[in-house]
């Protein structure tokens, strides 16, 4: 639930049912009251129509949180990416990085590092298309040591 469209879809579904909730970043929303099984199914069906899903599995939820943190950091942060992703993920999600990395690889069939690189590549393509930054500035913004290092990712 990183994009505004996703957040809006979730808000609208919960409002339809008259539920009180506190939006939380990273793909979560806290419903302030207990819900019935029927309400839960209505939420699930409504989200499905919007291309979203209601998750119950704790491991699947953690994987989605990992993805959301990475996507938010790479695509929606205007700051220069100068963080160690493993430390950042551990701190942000309050889990041991090794556990998260192993779980992610097991379920997704790719590593967290590869997931990060693929999203950084997509972001770099966007920045090149926008034309607001030159390649050197993009390399610096995306935390590559040089243009050559950035180029090697492609």
Total structural domains within the chain: 2
Q: What is the pTM of this model?
A: 0.69
69 in the same domain as 123: yes
100 in the same domain as 127: yes
Given its phi and psi angles, is residue 29 left (phi above 0), alpha (psi -120 to 50 degrees) or beta? Answer: beta
Token match 């069939």: residue?
A: 109
Q: Cα–Cα distance between 30 and 98 in angstroms, integer?
A: 28
* pLDDT values of the chain reduced to their tens digit, one per residue, 154 residues: 457 777 888 888 888 888 888 876 656 777 888 888 898 889 888 888 888 888 777 888 899 999 989 998 888 877 666 778 899 999 999 999 999 999 999 999 999 999 999 999 999 999 999 998 999 999 988 888 899 998 888 7
109 in the same domain as 35: no
74 in the same domain as 9: no
89 in the same domain as 18: no
132 in the same domain as 68: yes
102 in the same domain as 29: no
Residue 73's nearest CA partner among 131, 130, 112 is 112
Domain span at residue 11?
A: 4-49
143 in the same domain as 86: yes
């Amino acid at each position: 639930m990183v994009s505004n469209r996703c957040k809006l879809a979730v808000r609208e579904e919960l409002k339809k049912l008259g539920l009180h909730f506190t939006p939380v970043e990273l793909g979560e929303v806290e419903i302030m009251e207990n819900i019935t099984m029927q309400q839960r199914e209505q939420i699930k069906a409504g989200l499905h129509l919007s291309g979203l899903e209601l998750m119950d599995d704790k491991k699947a939820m953690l994987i989605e949180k990992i993805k959301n943190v990475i996507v938010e950091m790479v695509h929606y942060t205007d700051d220069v990416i100068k963080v160690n992703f493993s430390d950042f993920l551990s701190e942000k999600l309050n889990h041991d990085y090794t556990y998260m990395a192993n779980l992610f690889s097991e379920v997704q069939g790719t590593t967290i590092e590869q997931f990060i690189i693929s999203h950084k590549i997509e972001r770099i393509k966007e920045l090149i298309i926008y034309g607001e930054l030159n390649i050197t500035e993009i390399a610096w913004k995306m935390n590559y040591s040089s243009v050559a290092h950035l180029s090697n990712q492609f």
